[in-house]
A and B are shown apart, each in its own frame.
Chain A
Amino acid sequence: MSKKSSEIPMAGNILEPGNAREYKTGGWRAERPKHNPEDCLWIKNGTCALCCIFCPDNAIKLSEKDGKFLYAYDYDYCKGCGICANECPKSCITMEAE
């Protein structure tokens, strides 16, 4: 995390946009969301996606590959707020103690 003085850019400028990615906020988490794919509407037909839209930390990664819908958490950044579990219309997400 700490840098040598020779590695710091001139005047301490931040040159890379969005470099907060290097700061992992996942350590704040007390409860971990767990996804159950059975009833999930995204896995089923690629709709809903409320968890991804409402997640404040962009920690839910939804993707599509070869006609299949994939669902993943980025536990490096998930702060465990539980919004996804609260908003899921099918109650597919449960919060578990870390």
Chain B
Amino acid sequence: MSMKLKDLLQAPEVLGSGHRMCAGCGAPTVMKLMGMSLRGPTIVCNATGCLEVATTIYPYTAWKVPWIHVAFENVAAVASGIVEGINAMQEKGRYKQEHVDVIALGGDGGTFDIGFGALSGALERGHDFVYMVYDNGAYQNTGIQRSGATLPGQETTTSWAGKAEPGKRQRKKPIAEIVAAHRIPYVATVDPFHYRDFITKFRKALEVEGPAFIHAFSPCPRGWRSESSKTIELARLAVETGIHPLYEIIDGEQYIMSGPSKSLKELKPVDEFMKLQGQFKHLFTPQWEDFRKQVQQQITADWELLKKKCGVE
């Protein structure tokens, strides 16, 4: 696959202009990078979430590829149905395309929590499709409720911060590793700032036989109370602070750390990521100083463990 800049810029867009995602949202950039890595005819299945709601407000659609919207919980099931439907029609000689890629898209709510059963089932059955989650850390579309992807210390409308609570207390689900435990051929974490790494991994995910899973980080200025211009900067900081390290897992066993994470000599303090966001503001008061240190310790410990798994010193 050509990774020349000029070829990337000429790739046909999958999500056109005129969609109504918030100014500075990370998800359209993630979709654009996904579009740059496609290799031919593609069907996109989209679970309910910001992306679905804001790109297809009737009577408009911003999508330029075949696209289906399904309920919050069953996007993986619908994608597997499409894959098997195409296979059956090909056997009967009623389908003209030689190969069609099927992509399932879900937000973090639709993947980490609600759609997890359908996702796990589809992975176990082993259909040939790619599942991508764009992770913005809460149910941003319905009004910023906490999800399994919400970071510890994050303030949401169902985990308020104040004198009694520092926001969400629990950890974030390690979804990439949970999915990899299904022993599927390919799992990767990606980030829009490192766009070449993103495109290479997504293409790899399309090319493997069997299910593949991509965990994309997608900052949300509205829910995170950050400036809309800082979206991509936050995505970069998430990698540099170890909140969203970049790695691949092959066949559920072999961990490979990717270039941008591997070249980090030392993690930046997590404060740098938090300072840009209003949702972590309370952690910088004296009362929650200790909690912030705990979060930092947790992230450092996870990072050390990941380095050990990847065999990186």
Write the chain B residue with the least CB distance to A19: B60
Which of B75-83, B230-238, B258-266 lies at the binding interface?
B230-238
Interface positions, chain B 1-34, Cβ under 8 Å from A, are 5-6, 8-9, 13, 16-21, 23-29, 32-33
Contacts A18-B62, A54-B192, A87-B233 known; A49 to B17 CB distance under 8 Å?
no
Bound together, the chains give a CA A14 to CA B311 distance in angstroms of: 51
Is the CB of B227 closer than 8 A to any CB of chain A?
Answer: yes
**Which of A29, A56, A62 is close to B28, meaning CB atoms less than 8 Å apart?**
A56
A-B contact count (CB 8 A): 112
Bound together, the chains give a CA A39 to CA B224 distance in angstroms of: 33
Bound together, the chains give a CA A25 to CA B33 distance in angstroms of: 21
Is the CB of B229 closer than 8 A to any CB of chain A?
Answer: yes
Provide the residues of chain A in CB contact with B29, threshold 8 Å: 53-56
Is the CB of A65 closer than 8 A to any CB of chain B?
Answer: no
Is the CB of A91 closer than 8 A to any CB of chain B?
Answer: no
Residue among B13, B18, B58, B65 with max Cβ neighbours from chain A (10 Å): B18
Bound together, the chains give a CA A79 to CA B22 distance in angstroms of: 8
Provide the residues of chain A in CB contact with B231, threshold 8 Å: 56, 81, 83
Contacts A20-B61, A82-B228, A83-B24 known; A58 to B16 CB distance under 8 Å?
yes
Provide the residues of chain B in CB contact with A20, threshold 8 Å: 16-20, 55, 60-62
Bound together, the chains give a CA A25 to CA B63 distance in angstroms of: 16
Is the CB of A85 closer than 8 A to any CB of chain B?
Answer: yes
Instruction: Please determine whether A57 and B28 come into contact, CB atoms closer than 8 angstroms.
Output: yes
Given contacts A18-B62, A49-B9, 10 further A-B contacts (CB under 8 A): A12-B59, A14-B59, A18-B16, A18-B61, A19-B60, A20-B55, A20-B60, A79-B23, A79-B24, A86-B233
Which A residues have a C-beta under 8 Å from some C-beta of B? 8, 12, 14, 17-25, 28-29, 46-47, 49, 52-59, 62, 64, 74, 76-77, 79-83, 85-87, 95
